[in-house]
Amino acid sequence: REMYERDQEVMYYITLHNENYKMPAMPAGVEEGIIKGMYKVSSVEAGAGAPKVVLFGSGAILRCALGAQAILAEKYGVSSNVYSVTSYKTLWTEANDCEHWNLLHPGETPKKSYLETLLADETGPFISTSDNVRLVAQQIEPWVPGDYYVLGCDGVGRSDRRVRLRRHFEVDAECTTLAALTQLAKQGKFDKAKLPQVIKDLGIDSEKANPVST
């Protein structure tokens, strides 16, 4: 009825998960961000001068991003901001529209997408974790203002306990933590020599098979 009365060509969809968990309270003032595809959920400062990362999480895996945020601060002295991504497709569509308009209007003030505006003060590195295949999150890479590393569930579908599946696909809190520290090490903001011990401390099997090919 709403689509007919407002003459809108839109589609509504509901995603159901077979996992029960307490939904966090909605932060104040994020209503627009929920609709536009992304909003900030949490900020944790680990201390003055601490290195900082930005974590993107989606759906049930947002809790893995928040878990990584806690590990990074408590164990490794790393600050972070966590964003909930409600729709990578919506972010891509709006950013692509701005890019297209700018291409055809070179003499006018360029438009800036919602994604670029939201992340304008962030420097990264940026880590995305979700139960999507990586291509879903990778589509916004041109507009992410820094090094961007994507975790996702590429590979053969399988049945197992959630904790084992999330470790298999490397999207859990520990693997997200490792990805963040690895990216910081590439920027010279974390000691690369400590990464082997980080892997041991986080209980990650360094000889585990690549989920993409298993």
- Give 114-134 as a DSSP string: HHHHHTTT----EEEE-SS-H
Q: What share of the chain is helix, strand, coil (3-state, %, to 5)?
A: 45, 15, 45
Residue 170 pLDDT exceeds 60: yes
pLDDT digits (tens, 9 = 90+) for 11-55: 776 777 778 888 878 889 999 999 999 999 999 999 999 999 999
> What is the pLDDT, as a whole number, of residue 4?
67
Q: Are 124 and 147 in contact (CB under 8 A)?
A: yes
Whether residue 125 is preceded by a cis peptide bond, meaning omega within 30 degrees of 0, is yes
Indicate the pLDDT class of residue 198, thresholds 50, 70 and 90: very high
Residue 86 has pLDDT above 60, yes or no: yes
Query: Contact 113/93 with Cβ under 8 angstroms?
Result: no
pLDDT at 2: 59
Cβ–Cβ < 8 Å for 190, 162: no
Average pLDDT of the chain is: 93
pLDDT category, 158, cuts 50, 70, 90?
Answer: confident
* pLDDT at residue 153 is higher than 70: yes
- Residue 190: its pLDDT value, please? 97
Q: Is the pLDDT of residue 1 over 60?
A: no
Q: What is the pLDDT of residues 102-150, one digit of tens each?
A: 999 999 999 999 999 999 999 999 999 999 999 999 999 999 999 999 9
Its pTM stands at: 0.90
Residue range 77-88: average pLDDT? 97
For residue 47 the two structure tokens come to 């201390």
pLDDT at 172: 97
Q: Confidence class of residue 3 from pLDDT cuts 50, 70 and 90?
A: low
